[in-house]
A and B are shown apart, each in its own frame.
Chain A
Amino acid sequence: MTTTELWCDRCGDPAPAGTAHPGCASARELEPPRYCHRCRRRMKVQVLPVGWSAVCVEHGEIRG
């Protein structure tokens, strides 16, 4: 986690730098992110058979 991390990428609630919601963190093992962790916007997420991509209009694309 970096110091710019402000929002939980699963539930969209505040997640100040260095913290994570335990339930969300474990759920994320079987889910892609849904919220941009920098601005809380809902991202456009495409799940593929292998991997996923998530796009924030402001902060661009991440892949996993």
Chain B
Amino acid sequence: MPEILDQARTQVLGDGVGLDEAGVLAVLNLPDEHLPAALQLAHDVRMRWCGPEVEVEGIVSLKTGGCPEDCHFCSQSGLFTSPVRSVWLDIPSLVEAAKQTAKTGATEFCIVAAVRGPDARLMKQMREGVAAIKAEVDIQVAASLGMLSQEQVDDLVDMGVHRYNHNLETCRSYFPNVVTTHSWEERWETLRMVRDSGMEVCCGGILGLGETVEQRAEFAAQLAELNPHEVPLNFLNPRPGTPLGDRPVVEGKDALRAIAAFRLAMPRTILRYAGGREITLGDLGTRDGLLGGINAVIVGNYLTTLGRPATADLDLLDELKMPVKALSATL
């Protein structure tokens, strides 16, 4: 057994203290033959510190495309030649999407907008939309609307949005290679306000943007410092027309190593499979990740791309004897 896994067994599994950056890096550098042991340990950590439940979430795009920012992975930036056009979802369709999500047994419904930060029109749409969902659907509402002012944070709390997603996307040292229209620190500032407001913080990122393994470890350590309630882990799905459109997808084993390493850095967080797992890991890898530290999934489609059918994930959870987290348990 490699030394780092022995250390993690005592420190993370035993004491619930996450690995630091050097420890994460050691896990990311484990040779293939030790990957199963790393995944097993990450799974044990998840079972011990989070339990067997899996949190299921659906997401929907309230405002798609036409974003003024230049995140190089994103098909919704208006600055690239991506074919994604700007479109708004109306409130009846938003409520319908929440209903579809609730039908899968999901407890979380996240409303997302492709913006730098919300304007008055978007905040008004949110207020009406969240109220309409709460009146008709039994589900917790989360939001992801970019960078916020303090007033907007307060407004979202007032609407009853219980969790806010704002991804740091990648580590601080690599961020300027991925985004030039705003800074990592500006994102951090929004996260700080969200945390102070009492809303749950959801913050993760995308692997495979061209960052080094060292930078992946840096990212895990920075997330651990933030200590978010939830960390969505995406793997780059290279989008036509974006600056990263020709990048290779993350190799399956590297993705699994990252899942184990992120879990060992953050034993208690909700570690969610987000976008890109279908192309990076396929069906088999989806199972390996759920047995290697993941304890939450996005079911159904994503914002601009499609996922596998919700039933495929729910059947898998059933087979793995992992109960879907119930609403009553989260309220």
Contacts and interface: CB of A to CB of B under 8 A. Distances in A.
A binds B: yes
Interface of A: 10-12, 29-32, 34-35, 42-52
Nearest to A47: B301
A49 B305 contact: no
B300 A45 contact: no
Counting from the closest, the 8 A-B pairs by CB-CB distance are: A34-B83, A49-B300, A49-B58, A44-B87, A50-B100, A30-B306, A49-B100, A49-B101
A31 B97 CA distance: 18
A46 B96 CA distance: 13
Contacts of B100: 48-50
Contacts of B97: 48-49
Contacts of A30: 278-279, 305-307
A43 B310 CA distance: 26
Contacts of A51: 301
Contacts of A47: 60-61, 64, 301-306
- For A35, A50, A51, the residue with the greatest tally of chain B CB atoms inside 10 Å of its CB is A50
Interface of B: 58-61, 64, 83-87, 89, 93, 96-97, 100-101, 104, 240, 278-279, 299-307, 310
A12 B310 CA distance: 30
Nearest to B303: A47
A42 B58 CA distance: 27
Nearest to B301: A47
- For B83, B305, B310, the residue with the greatest tally of chain A CB atoms inside 10 Å of its CB is B83
B310 A50 contact: yes
- For B86, B89, B97, B303, the residue with the greatest tally of chain A CB atoms inside 10 Å of its CB is B97
Contacts of A10: 240
A42 B101 CA distance: 28
A47 to B, nearest CB: 5
Given A49-B101, A50-B300, A31 B306 contact: yes
Nearest to B61: A47
B301 A35 contact: no
A60 to B, nearest CB: 15
B93 A46 contact: yes
Nearest to B298: A49
Contacts of B306: 29-32, 47, 52
Nearest to A33: B83
Contacts of A29: 306
A35 B241 CA distance: 14
Given A30-B305, A47-B303, 7 more contacts: A46-B64, A47-B61, A47-B305, A48-B60, A49-B59, A49-B97, A50-B301
Contacts of A11: 240
A30 B303 CA distance: 12
A52 B84 CA distance: 13
Contacts of B301: 47-52
B83 A35 contact: yes
A43 B87 CA distance: 10
A24 B305 CA distance: 13
A63 B104 CA distance: 21
A45 B89 CA distance: 10
Contacts of B61: 46-47
